[in-house]
Every structure is written in C-alpha cells, then in structure tokens.
C-alpha cells in the first residue's frame, strides 16, 4: 500500500484550495460565525448526530439528495433560503453530502452574488474520491441530466472517513467502480493497491482503506484538473470507462448504478483496444481480473446492445457520426481516440455482451 495522503492542494482559476483528511470535529469550527450557513444532506444529518452540534439548526438547511434537488427549482430553494436567512458575502457556505447535494449547492454558491465561498464535506465514496475536486457543478434541465453547470471550485474540502461507515452497500459498490477507473488511468502502485484491497471482496473493504484509496484517486484527478480545469483537452482522459458506461446506464434505464456502469465500461474499452491491437492482451486480462471482483455480468442480462449503442450516440462529446472514446495503451497511459458510430461499434458491443 502507498503511503496515506493526509492533505493535498488543488490549483484552480480562483486560486489554490486545500483538501484535508481529518475528522469534521477537528476541521470545522466548533462555533460557526453567525454569518455561516450549512446545506446538509438530511440523511447524513440523521445518521451523524455530530452534525447537529457543528451545524446549528437555525443556520442549517437540510435537503433530500435526489435528482429534483439538482434542478433549477432545487437551486432556487437553496438560494431563497440563503437570502431569506440573511446570508451575505462575509459568511461561508458549508456543504455536507454526496455529489448530488454538492452539485446543487455549488451551483447556488457560484451564482449567488456572483460567487460566495463554499467549503465541501463529501460523505460518499464517489464524492470523496472524485466529485469533491475539479470545480464542476451540474444540474439537470428539461429531462436532460447535467446540462446546466458552472466551474466554481470550493474554498476547501474536508474528507472524514467516518461518514463512509453508514453508506449503503450499493453506494460503496458503485463508488468502488468509479474509483477503479482512476486506478487504471493513474496506473502504477494505485492499481496494485486496488488489486490487493479487493482480494477479499469489495464488501470487506474497511472505511479506512476506502478513504485512503479515494485520496489517491483524487490525486490522479488533481493532476489532470490542474492541467485542464475547463475540460477541453487532457482532462477528458478521465472519461475513461464512461462512454460505454453512459451507454449501459441509458440501456438499463438507470437500473445499473453509475459506478458499476463505469466498471463494465472499463472492460468494454479495454476489450475494444485489445481487439484493435493498441492494448496488450496481458494488461487487458490483468485489469479484467480486478474489475471482475466487483462485477459478474449479472446486470448485463437484460441489456440490449442496440440500446447501449443508442445511449452512446447521445454522448455530449459526439460530433459528425463519431464519438470520442478514451482507451488505454497501458496502465497509466490513457489516450483519446475518435471512433465512428457505425455498425462495427454496434457489433462489437453485441459480441462483448454475448461473451459474458
Ligand atoms: N460535480 C462533479 O464533478 C461530479 C462528479 C461526479 C458525479 N457528480 C454527481 O454526483 C451525483 C451522485 O453523487 P453520489 O454518488 O455522491 O451520491 P448522492 O449524493 O446522490 O448520495 C447517494 C445516497 O447516499 C446518501 N448518503 C450520502 N452520504 C451518506 C452517508 N455518509 N451515509 C449514508 N447515506 C449517505 C444520500 O442521502 C443518497 O440517498 C450525481 O448526480 C452525479 O452527476 C458530480
Ligand atoms: Zn463517473
């Protein structure tokens, strides 16, 4: 196992911000300023009573983490509460929850008074290892997911392992899928660490292992984000596993959780690269062995190849009958390629699904 990362910094267009891995009881002020406000996932608030002392009721908005929150109406609710409760630029907005609460609250923070400082306390594995850095906020609109958004980094991030103790197993499993794509894109020791960590089964991971590995995933993401915060070039390599993954999510009508779809997406991408001679079959097999500790193909039974292909054609990165597909040439060596959206691709997906 690599050494644990306790803190790191992220450079952004609004300056540098710290990520600190420590208990919230030490990281958050024991007595918030009267001007501070908290937007907290209500489920997390119930499960972690410590938040009741750190985030006093009168300064807290408890929200339900669902897709409705990630909408203009959801953001309006947060903005109205902030304005009605007298929040002003002198205060800090603390946001506690997973990626859903983050996306809505960060969007609100980015437009209120043209930007107010917000500090994020991620409480899911996905939020701790992935969404908490990178500046993006996204909300849904008119039935389209993540179509409205801003780039607005937090002023700081506090990662507390303890929140992971109450996550539902399905959230852990999906979070691990998301983390695995960082392990493959990052390569090196991080991949070996996941190989070792998953040897006993994903459901046996300790919260400490998860959080430690999430910090390393974040370090991989940080390196790409610092080079290309606005996602116009090299950061897109982080979509590895996601193009096929989005196709699978679409084809399953959202039944396959995001991180699990990404895990299958990793296998599809590597299969594609191996078939096209750009990935050594031994590496493909090595990655597959680790990913199969998380997925066994059962989710794919009802999935139709044509629907996966159709889902991929809806990808935002599509243009002129082609799609950007991120492949790897080796562990730690992602490459961006353009692939025609044609019968060959559809046949490839059909064959892959049939082979499970
Ligand atoms: N902004 C970004 O860069 C970015 C990146 C990736 C994903 N996202 C977005 O993140 C969202 C998904 O976020 P998520 O996977 O973190 O899940 P989530 O925030 O939707 O939370 C999932 C469930 O877990 C509950 N929960 C949260 N923390 C918990 C805890 N500690 N214990 C028990 N239950 C807890 C929530 O109440 C919810 O029911 C998606 O909308 C996605 O689009 C954003
Ligand atoms: Zn993802």
pLDDT tens for residues 326-348?
999 999 999 999 999 999 999 99
Mean pLDDT of 6-27: 98
Q: Do 157 and 111 have their domain in common?
A: yes
Contacts of 64 (CB under 8 A, 6+ apart): 41, 42, 43
Compute the distance between CA of residue 85 and CA of residue 89 in angstroms, rounded to an integer.
Answer: 13
Residues with CB under 6 A from ligand 1: 41, 43-44, 47, 65, 70, 97-103, 123-124, 126-127, 130-131, 134, 136-138, 146, 163, 166-167, 171
Q: Do 195 and 86 have their domain in common?
A: no
Return the CATH number at 254. Answer: 1.20.1090.10
Judge whether 112 lies within some domain.
Answer: yes
Q: Do 239 and 313 have their domain in common?
A: yes
Over residues 216-242, the pLDDT tens digits come to 999 999 999 999 999 999 999 999 999
317 phi and psi angles, rounded to 5 deg: -90, 20
Judge whether 316 lies within some domain.
Answer: yes
Last residue in a domain, options 120, 137, 166? 166
Q: Do 271 and 152 have their domain in common?
A: no
Over residues 244-295, the pLDDT tens digits come to 999 999 999 999 999 999 999 999 999 999 999 999 999 999 999 999 999 9
Q: What is the pLDDT of residue 317?
A: 64
More confident residue, 338 or 320: 338
Q: Do 137 and 177 have their domain in common?
A: no
Q: What is the pLDDT of residue 314?
A: 80
Q: Do 229 and 276 have their domain in common?
A: yes
Q: What is the pLDDT of residue 316?
A: 62
- Quick one: pLDDT band at residue 89, thresholds 50, 70, 90? confident
| Per-position DSSP letters for 99-114, written without gaps between them | HHHHHHHHHHHHHGGG
For 113, the domain range is 7-166
Which is nearest to 268 in space by CA: 311, 233, 234? 311
Judge whether 211 lies within some domain.
Answer: yes
Q: Do 174 and 162 have their domain in common?
A: no
Distance of CA 188 to the CA centre of its chain: 21
Evaluate if residue 318 carries a pLDDT over 80: no
β-pair partners for 211: none
Judge whether 1 lies within some domain.
Answer: no
Over pLDDT 90: what percentage of the chain? 95
Last residue in a domain, options 146, 166, 186? 166
Among 10, 42, 65, the mutation site with the greatest number of ligand 1 atoms within 8 A of its Cβ is: 65
Token pair belonging to 71:
């909408």
Q: Do 149 and 224 have their domain in common?
A: no
Over residues 20-69, the pLDDT tens digits come to 999 999 999 999 999 999 999 999 999 999 999 999 999 999 999 999 99
Last residue in a domain, options 148, 166, 184? 166
Q: How many domains does the chain have?
A: 2
Judge whether 2 lies within some domain.
Answer: no
The ligand minimizing its distance to the Cα of 70 is 1
Return the CATH number at 86. Answer: 3.40.50.1970
């Amino acid at each position: 196992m690599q050494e644990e990362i306790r803190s790191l910094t992220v450079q952004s267009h609004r300056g540098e911000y710290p990520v600190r891995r420590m208990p919230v009881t030490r990281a958050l002020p024991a007595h918030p300023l009267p001007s501070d406000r908290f937007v907290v996932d209500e489920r997390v608030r119930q499960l972690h009573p410590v938040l009741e002392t750190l985030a006093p009721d009168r300064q807290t908005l408890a929200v339900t983490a669902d897709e409705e929150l990630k909408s203009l109406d959801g953001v309006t609710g947060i903005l109205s509460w902030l304005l009605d409760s007298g929040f002003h630029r002198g205060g800090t907005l603390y946001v506690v929850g997973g990626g859903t609460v983050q996306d809505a609250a960060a969007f609100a923070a980015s437009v209120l008074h043209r930007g107010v400082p917000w500090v994020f306390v991620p409480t899911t594995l996905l939020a701790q290892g992935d969404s908490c850095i990178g500046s993006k906020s996204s909300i849904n609109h008119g039935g389209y997911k993540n179509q409205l958004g801003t780039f607005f980094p937090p002023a700081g991030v506090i990662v507390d392992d303890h929140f992971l103790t109450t996550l539902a197993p399905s959230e852990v499993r999906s979070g691990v899928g998301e983390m695995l794509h960082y392990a493959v894109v990052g390569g090196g020791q991080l991949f070996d660490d996941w190989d070792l960590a998953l040897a006993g089964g994903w459901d046996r991971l300790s919260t400490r292992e998860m959080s430690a590995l999430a910090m390393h995933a974040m370090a991989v993401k940080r390196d790409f984000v610092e080079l290309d915060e606005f996602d116009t070039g090299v950061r897109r390599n982080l979509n590895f596993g996601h193009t096929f993954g989005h196709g699978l999510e679409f084809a399953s009508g959202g039944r396959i959780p995001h991180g699990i779809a990404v895990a299958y997406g990793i296998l599809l991408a590597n299969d594609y690269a191996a078939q096209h001679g750009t990935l050594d079959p031994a590496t493909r097999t090595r990655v597959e062995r680790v990913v199969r500790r998380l997925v066994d193909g059962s989710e794919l039974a009802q999935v139709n190849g044509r629907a996966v292909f159709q889902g991929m054609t809806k990808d935002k990165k599509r243009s002129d009958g082609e799609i950007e597909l991120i492949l790897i040439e080796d562990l730690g060596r992602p490459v961006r390629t353009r692939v025609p959206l044609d019968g060959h691709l559809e046949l490839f997906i059909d064959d892959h699904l049939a082979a499970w």
